[in-house]
Amino acid sequence: MEKNNYPGKFIVLEGLDGSGQSTQAKLLQDFLAENGKQVFLTKEPTLEFEAGKKIKEILRGEKKSGSKELQELFTQDRGEHLEKIVIPALKDGKFVITDRYFFSTFAYGASDGLDLNWLIKINSDFLMPDITFILKVSPKICIERINKRGTKKELFEKEEKLAKVLKTYEILPQRFENMFVINGENSIDKVFADIKEKINKLL
């Protein structure tokens, strides 16, 4: 992976579906803006590019795809996301927060039986985040939260599937720098306090 040598900072939030990373991404956006930073909030898969639109159709069950093909689509979408959205913002000196990045490909792809080293290899030309937070929440609690949304479940939103995903997330900090596991079962305020403690070192 490439080191971020741009003026801006690249921040990633990861976790199981239902772990609360979208909520924390928004809180972090507001916090950084209040501290005088230019902030850009984004997420993967994107809705701007064709690969991202295809991914959403597959996740919603509207189209079929093999596991390998799906993760290759994620990687294609990520390449465009970086080139056209993330890197231009970093060049402008912005703090870019993304809700999911290639660590999702590693964790979710491996849960589908794909080789973790292959998944890392196909993402090896991409930018390494300055800091990554993994919100750790049990699959059971995640499913309870997803059920409360009242929306149709997507492809990976099953407890047994999320348990496999979590196993990979737990080993990623052993392989990559500047990754922090945060207890996402705490209150929203406590989770954010733990994130702020680490983020303050970037400010």
Inform me whether the pLDDT recorded for 72 exceeds 60: yes
The secondary element (H helix, E strand) that includes residue 10 is strand 9-15
Provide the domain count of the chain. Answer: 1
| pTM for this entry | 0.94
138: containing domain = 9-199
Please tell me the predicted confidence (pLDDT) of residue 60.
86
Residue 35 lies in a domain: yes
Please tell me the predicted confidence (pLDDT) of residue 91.
98
Mean pLDDT of the chain: 94
Residue 186 lies in a domain: yes
Please tell me the predicted confidence (pLDDT) of residue 40.
98
Cα–Cα–Cα angle for 79, 84, 88, rounded to 5 degrees: 120
Residue scoring higher pLDDT (65 or 156): 65
Please tell me the predicted confidence (pLDDT) of residue 199.
95
Residue 3 lies in a domain: no
Residue 2 lies in a domain: no
Q: What is the pLDDT of residues 79-126, one digit of tens each?
A: 999 999 999 999 999 999 999 999 999 999 999 999 999 999 999 999
Residue 31 lies in a domain: yes
Please tell me the predicted confidence (pLDDT) of residue 154.
52
Residue 108 lies in a domain: yes
Q: CATH number, domain at 113? A: 3.40.50.300
In the chain, alpha helices (H): 21-34, 50-59, 67-81, 87-91, 102-111, 116-121, 139-149, 159-171, 188-199
Tokens of 50: 């064709």
